[in-house]
Amino acid sequence: AQTVTQSQPEMSVQEAETVTLSCTYDTSESNYYLFWYKQPPSRQMILVIRQEAYKQQNATENRFSVNFQKAAKSFSLKISDSQLGDTAMYFCAFDSGGSNYKLTFGKGTLLTVNP
Amino acid sequence: GAVVSQHPSRVICKSGTSVKIECRSLDFQATTMFWYRQFPKKSLMLMATSNEGSKATYEQGVEKDKFLINHASLTLSTLTVTSAHPEDSSFYICSISEGQVGEKLFFGSGTQLSVL
């Protein structure tokens, strides 16, 4: 079974600074998909970024980028120029790519952006 | 992307009563929907996979007789919490898959259930 580990329960960052959230996973699959989801205080789950394991290039979405290290099974999220609206729970998630479309979530990291 | 509507957003009920939560796919015919449960400041735990026209697939440890799932159409799945107890109080979230392997899930806005 796949597992997803987020070792930082809480983090804080000053506005405009950069922060990196860690995620590691365990799988025997060779092709899979990784996600970072954001859950702000509204509790609506929002996709931040997605990475396909067969792609070596790290995914980037505006201020959000990942450092995907397949051999190390690591998938960290970097948030640049942090904004107050980035305050949220961040969940790393794994999809084995099977036809059941199921996601396995990490326990989450609560990020607080301070003014 | 798909738009998911979940209703109600918040419900309070008495112990022993049943509560139904609806999850609607507004612009996509979803053959597969997922129901998650989330405790305060915790992660999402998959409860069951709802398949249109067939029985739901429950995760280990989830009581299927307590959490009844009905996916009668391609746009609607319901979760009924039967004979609710205070320990059933939680945040319930539905999501749908557009059926493409490795693509993101679309989430409803969640339902906060409080059982008194």
Interface of A with B (CB under 8 A): 32-33, 35, 42-45, 47, 50, 52, 89, 91, 95, 97-103, 105-108, 110
Q: What's the gap in Å between the CA of B100 and the closest CA on chain A?
A: 8
Task: Give chain A as a DSSP string.
Answer: --EEE---SEEEEETT--EEE--EEE-S-SS-EEEEEEE-TT---EEEEEEETT--SPPEETTEEEEEETTTTEEEEEE-S--GGG-EEEEEEEE---TT--EEE---EEEEEE-
| Stronger pLDDT, A1 or A17, i.e. the higher one | A17
pLDDT-based confidence at B53, cuts 50/70/90? confident
Nearest CA in chain B to A31: B102
pLDDT confidence tier of residue A73, bands split at 50, 70 and 90: very high
User: What pLDDT score was predicted for residue A99?
Assistant: 64
Nearest to B102 among A43, A95, A108 (CB): A95
A54 → chain B, closest CA residue: B102
Contact B105 A103 (CB under 8 A): yes
Residues of A in contact with B110 (CB under 8 A): 43-44
Q: Look at residue B1 and tell me whether its pLDDT is greater than 80.
A: no
pLDDT over 90, % of chain A: 82
Mark residue A7 as left, alpha or beta (left: phi above 0; alpha: psi -120 to 50; beta: remaining): alpha
DSSP helix/strand/coil, B58: strand
The predicted-structure confidence for A9-20, as pLDDT tens digits, reads as follows 999 999 999 999
